[in-house]
Amino acid sequence: MKGTVSKDEISSEQLNELIDIVKKIHGFDFSDYTEASFKRRLARIMMLKKLEFYDLKHVLVNDAGFFQEFLEEITVNVTEMFRDPTFYKALKTQVVPYLSTYQQVKIWCAGCSSGEEVYSLAILLNEEKLGKKSFIYGTDINTEVLNEARKGIYSLRKIKSYTENYLFTGLPGSLTDHFTMMYDAAAIHSELKQNTLFSVHNLISDTGFNEFQMISCRNVFIYFETELQYKILDLFYKSLCPLGYLCLGNKETIRSDAFRKKFKVINQKENIYQKIGS
């Protein structure tokens, strides 16, 4: 697994030029993405597709089909089931008991990629006997990964590593109890899939679409500039019911006083918050 170095560095001017093209032609606004990782993704696409910067611009303008591929590569779709096992442990002890008091539990998993986190939450809620009254919406800007998510089929190699994660959560069951094993892959049980819905949603340009008891958006903010993070936090705030929970990635610290007034810290280390105020 070699590094992803492109020998030709992309300048900030080139970066802006490209962001402009994508915005004007394809309607996706990447201008508030964090520069360093965005450049790294671009360099990676150029290497994979064997394109110079000029050619990349050219295909983005002239080849309509290329954009979907570009979108898939530019967004980071690396995810795992039960990533950060201690997060799930915290959810179980600090959040689930409160969620269980609701008639219906609606959860929004924003930036869900290929669905691993949605199904991890579904498994957790199922094991905690909330499966029947909960519903999880998984959204992403990328249609291709959502198709993967809807299938809910993962390679055995991945399942093996997810099983390790699961063990660290301290949950009492077994991950494979929730899967049907096939020759070289495993499919999530259909009863878990029933209470999920995957759809396209762009955090940067789309509005809220429901009221939720919990929103999980983990390892998405790391790709956004601070101002954009605040804008999306506002969207999340409005989309949560009173005392609803917000979960961010465990390194996604929000350094804003305004945020502290709207959200109470439930777990500092795991970045779990609760909506306060109105």
Partner 1 sequence: MALDDKIRQQWANSRILLLGGSAGSFKLLFRLVKLLPQNLNKTVIIIIHRKKNFFSEIEKLFAENSRMLLREISDKEPIMDNTIYIAPANYHSLVENEGFFSLDVSDAVWYSKPSIDVTFESVAEVYKERVTAVLFSGANQDGAEGLLKLRRKGALTIAQHPEDAEMAEMPQAAIDIHAAEYILRTTEIFELLEDTN
Question: Which residue, 192 or 215, is less far from partner 1 as judged by CB?
Answer: 215
Question: Which residue, 83 or 106, is less far from partner 1 as judged by CB?
Answer: 83
Least distance CB 168 / partner 1 (angstroms): 5
| Distance of alpha carbon 123 from alpha carbon 188, whole angstroms | 10
> Which secondary structure element, helix H or strand E, spans residue 136, and what is its range?
strand 134-140
Burial class (CB in 10 A: 0-12, 13-18, 19+), 277: exposed
At position 35, the amino acid (one-letter code) is: E
Question: Which residue, 144 or 252, is less far from partner 1 as judged by CB?
Answer: 252
| Distance of alpha carbon 116 from alpha carbon 80, whole angstroms | 6
CA 266 to chain centre: 21
| Distance of alpha carbon 98 from alpha carbon 92, whole angstroms | 10
Least distance CB 133 / partner 1 (angstroms): 31
Least distance CB 79 / partner 1 (angstroms): 8
- Would you tell me which residues interact with partner 1 (CB under 8 A)? 1-5, 9, 12, 34-37, 39-41, 76, 78-79, 83-86, 164-165, 168, 219, 221-223, 226, 229, 249, 251-253, 255
Question: Which residue, 130 or 144, is less far from partner 1 as judged by CB?
Answer: 144
| Distance of alpha carbon 127 from alpha carbon 122, whole angstroms | 9
With a CB cutoff of 8 Å and minimum separation 6, the contacts of 74 are 30, 38, 41, 42, 45
Least distance CB 1 / partner 1 (angstroms): 6
Q: Which tokens sit at 19?
A: 């962001």
Least distance CB 217 / partner 1 (angstroms): 13
At position 93, the amino acid (one-letter code) is: T
Question: Which residue, 74 or 121, is less far from partner 1 as judged by CB?
Answer: 74
Question: Which residue, 99 or 220, is less far from partner 1 as judged by CB?
Answer: 220
| Distance of alpha carbon 175 from alpha carbon 166, whole angstroms | 7
Least distance CB 86 / partner 1 (angstroms): 7
For the chain, the residue count is: 278
How far apart, in Å, do the first and last CA atoms of the chain sit? 49
Least distance CB 229 / partner 1 (angstroms): 8
Question: Which residue, 37 or 202, is less far from partner 1 as judged by CB?
Answer: 37
